[in-house]
Amino acid sequence: MIEMVQYNYIRYLYYNKGMSIRAIAKLCDVHRKTVNRALLSADQRYCLKSPKPKPVNGNYQDRIVYLVKENWERAKKDQCTKQRLYALIKEEGYTGSYEAFTWQVRQIEEEQNHTTKEAFVKLLPFRSHLQVDFGEIEVMDQGVPRKIFFFCAKLCWSKVEFVRVYPRSSSEFLFDGLVQAFSFFGGVPKVVLFDNLSPAVKRILPERERILQESFLRFQSFYCFESIFCAPGKGNEKGMVENLVRYIKNNYFRPKPVFHGFPSMNDWLLKQCENRRNTNKLNGKNWGELWLEEQPVFLSFRDHYECVRCQEAKVDTYQLVHVESNRYSVPTSYVGKRVQVKLFPFQIQVISQHQLIATHDRLFGKDHETLNPYHYLSLLEKKARAYAEAKVIHDWHLPNIYETYHQRLQGYVRSKSKGTREFIAILRLTERYGVKEVGCILQFLASQNRYSYEDVMSHLRFQQEKREEIPGLSESILAVNSLSTYTWNKPTLAPYAQCLEKEEEG
């Protein structure tokens, strides 16, 4: 095959200079057939008149066709890569190279009209439209990797975004994320685009129809926004928030950050969102200016929705309710009863007969428990011998003065059980006055060798009366009653001393 320079020269000599094919072949030192081929086509290309034989692929032609067809019929998430298909067919005895196999696969895909790339239509952003999604990240919690979720919301028109981290992605966290986002945006967008999240979608129907969860319908009716859900496996329909999820992972959480609790991390993320809102620009305007222009289109943001998930539980004989593989204590009087548990994002409340009986910080993970010592003090008064081995008391971690005072109180009353019951009565005072204040009183009383519940109560009353300030009389009242000039002398002890002297003489 001749070079392009020579090819161009042959055509120049023939069409421009009028030379014959024989003369050109002689001048360029090529065969006349080569000159003819150069004159027949304006573009120099190498074309096969017949395909090259492929002895290796030929034996596996039907098998490769079957593998490609079967692979394309699977769901997208279950499809194998070409490298995996090549590994599978090699196990069946295929000896060809990877390049020969992939060339054959591409030919089959073209014949069967399988396209590996999807075409998209560029859409115009509308005002008061919001896109929502969850992402997953890993953080370092006390040196151990821990998976947490982050909620992302992005306005389509002004591009303002909101991010918040949660331990899970269940309904109460989705609702709380939306409420916090509405509060941050200063209103409720009219249209919110979701993925097919299980807290929102109960069942997917043909076309765009969905059967929604009842809890999501209650939330939607509270704020009156329109919800739109992407087609299954079509996350590109909410591409803005998908890009935001990717941006958050790459710029905020790599390398893995050290986890110091959800409140501190959420405060930091809020500052990042505010900074991007005030600095990032679109068409010469920063996001904050566009956001202010978009706000009048929003629906009004009313009261905060109660982001809670409810379930029933039964109190066991250890005064515990079991919720999501964790345990929470309740007062003794509710043992054996059925109660309602309200699961807020970071708190749980236990309700009985429409009355709040216990509140705890919500636990995440498995086989953890939180015990409120004040739930057990009434029971320990009846079972004083169990006090020394009670787990709730060991987990309380009281200051050392409490145990010291307890032991001395037992010795003072000469009874372990009676001393323990009286000490439990003292512990009950810490719920009202605080562990630190009662501890200071115990320290003072121990230095005075005073050991009793009455001494503690007497000292508490004295401190309380001392704190209550009695307002003085006004200047006008003092003047009217001539009290402003009233003076008095301090009494002396001389008469008392004289009485003692007379008694000694008698």
Residue-wise burial string across 350-373, b where 16 or more C-beta atoms lie within 10 A, e elsewhere: bebeeeebbebebbeeeeebbbbb
Pairing state of beta strands 326-329 and 320-323? antiparallel
Going by C-beta distance under 8 Å and a sequence separation of 6 or more, which residues neighbour residue 6?
28, 30
Give the tokens for residue 399.
């200051």
Instruction: Single out the residue of 247, 248, 251, 229 nearest to residue 238, CA to CA.
Output: 229
* Cα-trace Rg, the chain: 42
- The helix/strand/coil state of 123 is coil
130: CB partners within 8 A, 6+ apart? 153, 154, 155, 156, 181, 185, 189, 191, 192, 193
Model confidence over 265-296: pLDDT tens digits? 999 999 999 999 999 988 888 899 999 999 99
pLDDT at 239: 84
Neighbours of 32 (CB within 10 A): 13
DSSP letters for 418-470: HHHHHHHHHHHHHHHH-HHHHHHHHHHHHHTT--SHHHHHHHHHHHHHHHSPP
For 350, the 3-state DSSP assignment is strand
Q: Please return the burial class of 496, using the count of CB atoms within 10 Å of its CB with bins 0-12, 13-18 and 19+.
A: exposed
User: Distance (Å, rounded) from C-alpha 292 to C-alpha 85?
Assistant: 53
Predicted confidence band of residue 47 (pLDDT cuts 50, 70, 90): low
Confidence category of residue 16, pLDDT binned at 50, 70, 90: confident
Of the chain, the percentage scoring pLDDT greater than 70 comes to 90
Range 230-241 average pLDDT: 81
DSSP at 385: G
| Percent with pLDDT over 90 in the chain | 48
pLDDT band at 100; cut points 50, 70, 90: confident
Rounded CA-CA distance 155/126 in Å is 9
Mean pLDDT, rounded, of the chain: 87
Crossing angle of helices 400-413 and 435-447, in 10° steps, is 50
Q: How many Cα atoms are found within 13 Å in the side-chain-facing hemisphere of 168? A: 16
Q: What angle do CA 392, 355, 380 make, to 5 degrees?
A: 25
Element (H, E) at 70: helix 61-73
- Out of 7-16, 129-138, 332-341, least confident range: 7-16
pLDDT of 312 strictly over 80: yes
If we measure between CA atoms, which residue out of 382, 387, 386 comes closest to residue 332? 382
Q: Is residue 334 within 8 Å of 352, Cβ to Cβ?
A: yes
Angle, helices 61-73/82-90, rounded to nearest 10 degrees: 140
Beta partners for residue 129, in sequence order:
191
Which residue matches tokens 């500052």? 271
**Residue 10: per-residue pLDDT:** 87
Q: Give all strands of the β-sheet with 347-352 in edge-to-edge order.
A: 309-314, 338-343, 347-352, 355-361
Q: How confident is the model at residue 46 (pLDDT cuts 50, 70, 90)?
A: low
Helix (H) or strand (E) holding 147: strand 144-155
The strand pair at 309-314 and 338-343 is best described as: antiparallel
3-state class percentages of the chain: helix first, strand second, coil last, to nearest 5: 50, 15, 35
pLDDT of residue 424: 94
Structure tokens at 280: 């990032």
Q: Does residue 43 carry a pLDDT above 80?
A: no
What per-residue string of b and e applies to 484-495 under the rule 16 or more CB within 10 Å gives b? eeeeeeeeeeee
The partner residues of 349 in beta bridges, in order of sequence, read 342, 359
> Has residue 343 got a pLDDT over 90?
yes
Among 154, 164, 496, 157, smallest CA distance to 307 is for 164
